[in-house]
Amino acid sequence: MSIEKRTDVLIVGSGVAGLTCAIKLAMARPDLKITMMAKATKDESNTRYAQGGVAAVWNIKADTLEKHIADTLDAGDGLCKEDIVRMIVTEGPVRVQELIDWGARFDKELSGEYDLGREGGHSENRILHYKDITGWEIERTLLEKAASLSNIIILENYFAIDLLTQHHLGYNVTRMTPDIECYGVYALDKENLDVETHLARITILATGGAGQIYRATTNPIIATGDGMAMMYRAKGRISNMEFVQFHPTSLYNPAVESQAYLISEAVRGFGGVLRTLDGEEFMEKYDERKSLAPRDIVARAIDSEMKRLGDEYVYLDCRHLNVEEFKIHFPNIYEKCLSAGVDISKSMIPVVPACHYFCGGIMVDRDGKTSFNRLWAAGECTASGLHGANRLASNSLLEGLVYGHNIAEQVKTAIDKFDFKEGIPAWNAMGTTHPKEMVLITQSWKELKDIMSSYVGIVRSNVRLRRALDRLWLLYQETETLYNSSTLSPQLCELRNLITIAYLVTRSASMRHESRGLHYTTDYPEKLDHLEETLL
């Protein structure tokens, strides 16, 4: 059955960037129908799992915009776009205040002032937080605000399959084709497995990251890089995919396969110290900032110590900290550790690096405009220029707030130039059969995680990257054959997207003949004198 739906603005994704944009646009243009498409439930996104907080210059007596800008540029290792950094850091406090006005409950001290935390790479305390579940609190705030606006509709359990562009009308679209346009998406209703045509005057991608290409990741199971993969298949511009941030400290649990539990960087900001299994403090060998060095440095240091000693994890020592204060600041982390048999007042926490955040993605300008007409994008699925070669802790939620606002400012007037595109064909499901080989999908996903974790992880080399590309090519061929001969399932679509993301990361890594930020290769350990983006 062919189903076509129409909406003025279609936002794919329901995290901080997508919700902020929807709210701002709905308030500015109550005459527009704004539809949000959530892959699972509306509150399931990477935003929900952000523990640390949102970075913003709040205490102007001790902190300045220039300090925040300098910290961001330093963490980005030369690849940040300074004008974008300045824009986001400068606009950030205003956007955070709006969030507070909408009901966000950031923690306060007894004096009534906000309790500002500090994380690796930050020179001052500037992290606003809600206990150790800040992302959950921000998601709650935004969903409640969105629910108060009648022109926002949220579709749950919808999977965006592909962007609708000219090639669906028979045009020969290439990556160099000027003026490619986006008319909406094909989407799979996960409840009845019908593929629907969703037409929009303007489409916005806010689809999050792709941590599920690795065995150990802090990302939820839905983080499969769908927006980035759709954009690449539609011949859109992608950049800097080699820069994948591994959070240094996820709770070590070899039995967990889908989502590792994050031990927030704020714990190190609170005084936690990294040690080897024999109790040796080791970060001073790698950086003068020790356990508060930026994430790329800490993750590589942990990886180096694990390989040097043959250990599967290191320790985060919090035994010297005030346990009652720890419970107040990190109640969920405390309980999670306790459930794993670790009393932080008596035992050290076993931790291991896990894939956490993508710094590359869909190329966008300062207004969130992509290389396609009628298509904007925001959040982790994009390469905005804020993060460069490495994200500064707690800058991601800030980016989502600022870009969500800026896109709404653009779209509220730009939409009047566009109408719905007629003549888009319905999804062609001819010749497909019901999938009988779920075991193939499951096994291919495991193989993909093994390939990326073994060969395209924290430390890379030419021979590892070549082996990864060879293995990925076989997985791609097998999956495309299955895709073209089976009824669509969400798992098959996700696998297809993950293979695309894995290829983009590996191909980009092989193109960068230097070590910079999150990309470290033993064949090119030094930085090049000149800077450039990796474009795909």
Q: Which residues are catalytic?
A: 295
Residue 512 is inside which H or E element, if any? none
152 DSSP β-pair partners: 34
Helix, strand, coil percentages (3-state) for the chain, rounded to 5, are 40, 20, 45
**How many residues would you count in the chain?**
536
CA distance 196 to 3: 5
203 DSSP β-pair partners: 10, 375
Residue 352 is inside which H or E element, if any? strand 349-358
DSSP 8-state code for residue 493: H
Report the SS3 class of residue 89: helix
Task: Render 369-428 in DSSP notation, one character per residue.
Answer: B-SSBTEEE-GGGEE-SSSTTSPPTT-HHHHHHHHHHHHHHHHHHHGGG--PPP-PPPP-
Q: How many CB atoms lie within 10 A of CB 322?
A: 13
Positive or negative torsion for Cα 513, 514, 520, 522: positive
CA distance 201 to 164: 12
Sequence letter at residue 76:
G
What are the structure tokens assigned to 407, written together?
């896109």
Residue 526 is inside which H or E element, if any? none
DSSP 8-state code for residue 276: -
The alpha-helical segments, DSSP class H, found in 426-461 are 438-455
Judge whether 69 and 122 are in contact, CB under 8 Å.
no
